[in-house]
């Protein structure tokens, strides 16, 4: 286009790349033009002049230059036609020096400018085309920091606005490092549902007397109906697509309130990105990718939560149909977010992926250590502070290791939690685990079968050993009492086996089943106890076909047997017998 004038010297091969026949093609087409200093005028040779290229593009050109502070005067620097659109431009130049300071927010909003505060304001004159319009797809702004030219992985922050930019948020990312995105917010192409997109163009076939296409009000209404209903997913671009549809269609009552809120939200994200960036620069190169992924996920989640809440408020406002007062976001109070962002902390704080487990232990027994599994986005060195409380209110420090073994000398319940802190001095607190210390049960007569349950694996375990029962309770198993009474000996031993891969036990009186399990990798642990040859009390055996651990259950209770079978377990008859008392 002739309006995109810029100085270029085709002979400066170090800085100018061009097609070999760039000059020849223009000359052959009789469109070749030169600048006043005799160099090829690329724009004039290959583009239309301002009058020919259309008032829409001319108007956007003037909006953009004036957005960045250039003082253009109507009638001198440009002319307008009868509808107020820019018809011609006196001195079209692509490059110019902005007359205002360009902070990040100003740069981001440049692609959404609509001529606000000028005589080409598309918000006032709906016949004007604008830089930010309801046909934009998405926008990308790359913030390149020259001072980081030696660190190319973090030198550029990409700010991306999904859907139309006027009523949208630019989400930051270190795109040179980013390897993961949240598929719930950014679905892959094969998962993308386009039913909520609606009509991609709301223009009909008719044009006005100036050649501008006219909106088809039926298509506009159908798109608004789509935007008023929840999409049933968390697609971030759908949120902004709907916000733009509703705010654009209700410019007099909704647009200002949405715009005001999004500007405050965008500035808060920019502010917190400064903290993220300071932290990122301190990280070793090996730690940066993990943190880049974490930061992008945190920013995207915060943007979705805030923007989706805003969208739902706009929907409710429009559905109510009372436009006597303009729309105002409830999360905006005195020019600030009523509920502050947590972007930086969510990005940089350590994440506890496995919480400490509650325990039931016996007095003076060896309890299992409380522990957490922590994922730190930056891979930094972590510190731990364990706290304990008898009442859940007053806490005292009790340990600084990554694990803590609770005391079992006092009967009662004690609560424990751990605070994990990373190199950025950001902390995460675990859930509370309770340790119940009870008086140990008395050892029962020989032949008493102790029954235990593992709440994490779902396995029931049976042992004739009182000491083994006490040990297992100390490491987290739940004691369920005496299951049955076994004879001290008989002609029918019950063999005990262990699967080291699944962590499961199995018991059988069958030598063939024992040997078959041994052949496929189970460990044979000897005779666990004996079956009553007098067949006093049957032990019913059930199998869970949907489990990999705790696949078998054994019980003297016909009620328990039938309940499990009704719940989907397979009845496998009688495993062995206990003594009838």
Q: Which of 397, 428, 432 is nearest to 414 (CA)?
A: 432
Q: What are phi and psi of 88, to 5 degrees?
A: -140, 160
Indicate the domain borders of the chain.
134-344, 349-438, 448-578
The pLDDT assigned to 171 comes to 97
What's the average model confidence in pLDDT over 495-513? 93
pLDDT one-digit tens code per residue, 47-66: 776 666 678 888 999 999 99
Higher pLDDT residue, 268 or 16?
Answer: 268
Q: What confidence category does residue 572 fall into, taking pLDDT thresholds of 50, 70 and 90?
A: very high
pLDDT one-digit tens code per residue, 237-246: 999 999 999 9
Higher pLDDT residue, 519 or 50?
Answer: 519
Residue 390 clears pLDDT 70, i.e. is over it: yes
Distance CA 321, CA 305 (A): 25
Residue 3 clears pLDDT 60, i.e. is over it: no
The pLDDT assigned to 29 comes to 93
**Is pTM beyond 0.85 here?**
no
| 3-state SS assignment for residue 109 | helix
Residue 2 clears pLDDT 60, i.e. is over it: no
Higher pLDDT residue, 424 or 128?
Answer: 128
State both tokens at 187.
């679905």
The pLDDT assigned to 476 comes to 83
Q: What confidence category does residue 210 fall into, taking pLDDT thresholds of 50, 70 and 90?
A: low
Q: What are phi and psi of 199, to 5 degrees?
A: -75, 125
Mean pLDDT of the chain: 91
What's the average model confidence in pLDDT over 301-316? 97
pLDDT one-digit tens code per residue, 114-167: 999 999 999 999 889 999 987 788 899 999 998 888 889 999 999 999 888 899
Task: Look at the block and give the residue holding tokens 């198993």.
Answer: 477
Q: What confidence category does residue 380 fall into, taking pLDDT thresholds of 50, 70 and 90?
A: confident
Top-level class of domain 349-438 = mainly beta
Q: Which residues of 523-542 are buried (b: 16+ CB within 10 A; e: fewer)?
A: eeeeebbbbbeeeebbbbbb
The pLDDT assigned to 4 comes to 63
Residue 1 clears pLDDT 70, i.e. is over it: no
State both tokens at 365.
């027994």
State both tokens at 54.
């259309």
Percent pLDDT > 90 in the chain is: 65
Residue 433 clears pLDDT 80, i.e. is over it: yes
Residues 6+ apart with CB under 8 A from 186: 235, 236, 300
Percent pLDDT > 70 in the chain is: 98
The pLDDT assigned to 109 comes to 94
Distance CA 443, CA 166 (A): 75
The pLDDT assigned to 195 comes to 76
Q: What confidence category does residue 67 fall into, taking pLDDT thresholds of 50, 70 and 90?
A: very high
What's the average model confidence in pLDDT over 537-560? 92
The pLDDT assigned to 452 comes to 92
What's the average model confidence in pLDDT over 441-459? 89
């Amino acid at each position: 286009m002739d309006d995109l004038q810029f100085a270029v010297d085709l002979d400066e091969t170090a800085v100018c790349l061009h097609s070999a026949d760039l000059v020849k093609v223009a000359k052959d087409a009789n469109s070749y033009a030169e600048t006043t200093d005799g160099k090829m005028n690329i724009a004039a040779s290959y583009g239309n002049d301002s009058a020919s290229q259309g008032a829409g593009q001319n108007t956007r050109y003037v909006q953009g230059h004036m957005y960045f502070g250039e003082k253009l005067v109507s009638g001198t620097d440009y002319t307008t036609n009868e509808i107020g659109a820019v018809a011609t431009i006196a001195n079209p130049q692509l490059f110019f020096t902005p007359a205002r300071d360009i902070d990040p927010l100003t740069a981001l909003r440049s692609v959404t400018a609509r001529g606000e505060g000028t005589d080409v304001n598309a918000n006032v004159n709906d016949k004007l085309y604008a830089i930010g319009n309801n046909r934009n797809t998405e926008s990308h702004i790359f913030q390149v920091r020259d001072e980081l030219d030696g660190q190319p992985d973090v030198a550029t922050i990409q700010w991306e606005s999904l859907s139309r930019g006027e009523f949208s948020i630019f989400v930051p990312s270190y795109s040179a490092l980013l390897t993961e995105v949240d598929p719930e917010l950014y679905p892959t192409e094969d998962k993308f549902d386009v039913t909520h997109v609606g009509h991609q163009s709301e223009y009909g076939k008719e044009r006005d007397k100036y050649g501008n296409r006219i909106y088809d009000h039926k298509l506009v209404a159908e798109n608004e109906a789509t935007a008023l209903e929840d999409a049933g997913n968390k697609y971030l671009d759908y949120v902004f697509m709907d916000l733009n549809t509703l705010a654009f269609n209700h410019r007099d009552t909704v647009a200002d309130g949405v715009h005001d809120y999004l500007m405050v939200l965008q500035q808060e994200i920019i502010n917190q990105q400064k903290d993220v960036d300071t932290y990122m620069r301190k990280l070793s190169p090996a730690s940066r990718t993990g943190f880049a992924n974490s930061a992008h996920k945190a920013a995207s989640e915060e943007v979705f939560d805030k923007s989706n809440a805003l969208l739902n408020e706009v929907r409710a406002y429009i559905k109510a149909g009372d436009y006597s007062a303009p729309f105002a976001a409830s999360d905006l109070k005195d020019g600030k977010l009523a509920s502050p962002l947590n972007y930086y902390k969510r990005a940089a704080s350590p994440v506890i992926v496995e919480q400490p487990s509650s325990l039931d232990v016996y007095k003076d027994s060896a309890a299992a250590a409380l522990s957490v599994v922590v994922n730190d986005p930056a891979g930094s060195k972590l510190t731990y502070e364990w706290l304990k409380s008898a009442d859940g209110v007053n806490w005292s420090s009790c340990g600084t290791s990554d694990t803590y073994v609770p005391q079992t000398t006092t009967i009662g319940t004690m609560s424990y939690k751990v605070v994990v802190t990373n190199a950025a001095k950001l902390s995460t607190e675990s859930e509370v685990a309770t340790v119940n210390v009870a008086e140990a049960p008395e050892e029962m007569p020989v032949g008493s079968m102790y029954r235990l349950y593992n709440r994490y694996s779902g396995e029931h375990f049976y042992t004739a050993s009182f000491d083994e029962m006490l040990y297992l309770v100390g490491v987290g198993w739940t004691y369920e009492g005496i299951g049955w009474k076994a004879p001290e000996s008989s002609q029918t031993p019950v063999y005990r086996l262990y699967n080291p891969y699944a962590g499961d036990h199995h018991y059988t009186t069958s030598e063939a089943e024992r040997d078959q399990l041994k052949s496929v990798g189970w460990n044979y642990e000897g005779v666990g106890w004996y079956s009553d040859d007098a067949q006093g009390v049957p032990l019913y055996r059930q199998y869970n076909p949907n489990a990999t651990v705790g696949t078998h259950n054994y019980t003297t209770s016909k009620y328990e047997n039938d309940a499990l079978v009704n719940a989907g377990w397979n009845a496998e008859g009688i495993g062995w017998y206990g003594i009838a008392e």
